[in-house]
């Protein structure tokens, strides 16, 4: 069957659009270890807030801005915990809390969601900590991509925030003394597009 010329002219832009969409693929980024620092806020007996961070993490992001989809994985070395107080760091690594000898890493995995103008606004996923996996969502407060000035590839950064009940992961130290079990988790992340 032959398509009339006028109809073909009208269908051509739609066909080209569909062909472009079919050829688009997610782009993979590797987390920049020197610019990615998961941090946390935790209650201390209801009278102050202790803050700390993890100095070593790694992971990746896959992003399809046009399709409004993507995924992320961040693996955190728990023995890199840093409260700014070495005695507390040592205790937190030990068997009475994180037990990093048996549970060396925490892992957050999720799917990017809520895209607005090509940028995700949240991550729906799960956190694995102390051998336990629980659902967790992160809100993305800021997301931006720019050309990296040295590597000349896409470079993206974000600030993500969520919270979890640490006792749900078997980390209930201090509960009997009135510690609030809710912990705020922030992930400051930057990632460079793979070659």
Give me the tens of pLDDT residue by residue for the chain, a chain 195 residues long.
Answer: 455 545 444 544 444 444 444 446 899 999 999 999 999 999 999 999 999 999 999 999 999 999 999 999 999 999 999 999 999 999 999 999 999 999 999 999 999 999 999 999 999 999 999 999 999 999 999 999 999 999 999 999 999 999 999 999 999 999 999 999 999 999 999 999 999
Tell me which residue has tokens 């749900």: 168
pLDDT computed for residue 25 by the predictor: 87
CA 7 to chain centre: 47
CA 5 – CA 131 distance, rounded (Å): 64
CA dihedral 153, 70, 104, 38 (to 10 degrees): 70
Q: Which of 75, 60, 74 is nearest to 26 (CA)?
A: 60
pLDDT computed for residue 24 by the predictor: 64
Hey, where are the domains in the chain?
25-193
Query: Which CATH number is 25-193 given?
Result: 2.40.128.110
pLDDT computed for residue 114 by the predictor: 97
pTM reported for the whole predicted model: 0.84
pLDDT computed for residue 7 by the predictor: 43
pLDDT computed for residue 2 by the predictor: 54
Tell me which residue has tokens 């070495």: 86
CA 166 – CA 50 distance, rounded (Å): 14
CA 159 – CA 181 distance, rounded (Å): 23
């Amino acid at each position: 069957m032959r398509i009339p010329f006028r109809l073909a002219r009208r269908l051509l832009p739609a066909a080209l659009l569909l062909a472009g969409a079919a050829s688009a693929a997610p782009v993979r980024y590797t987390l920049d270890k020197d610019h990615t620092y998961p941090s946390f806020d935790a209650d201390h007996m209801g009278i102050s807030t202790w803050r700390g961070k993890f100095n070593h993490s790694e992971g990746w992001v896959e992003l399809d801005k046009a399709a409004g989809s993507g995924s992320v994985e961040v693996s955190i070395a728990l023995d890199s915990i840093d409260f700014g107080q070495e005695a507390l760091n040592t205790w937190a690594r030990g068997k009475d809390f994180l037990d990093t000898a048996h549970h060396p890493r925490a892992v957050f995995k999720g799917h990017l969601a809520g895209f607005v103008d090509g940028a995700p606004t949240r991550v729906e996923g799960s956190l694995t900590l102390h051998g336990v996996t629980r659902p967790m969502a992160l809100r993305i407060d800021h997301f931006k991509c720019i050309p990296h000035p040295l590597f000349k590839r896409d470079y993206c950064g974000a600030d993500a925030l969520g919270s979890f009940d640490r006792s749900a992961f078997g980390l209930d130290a201090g509960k009997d003394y009135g510690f609030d079990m809710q912990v705020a988790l922030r992930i400051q992340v930057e990632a460079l597009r793979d070659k």
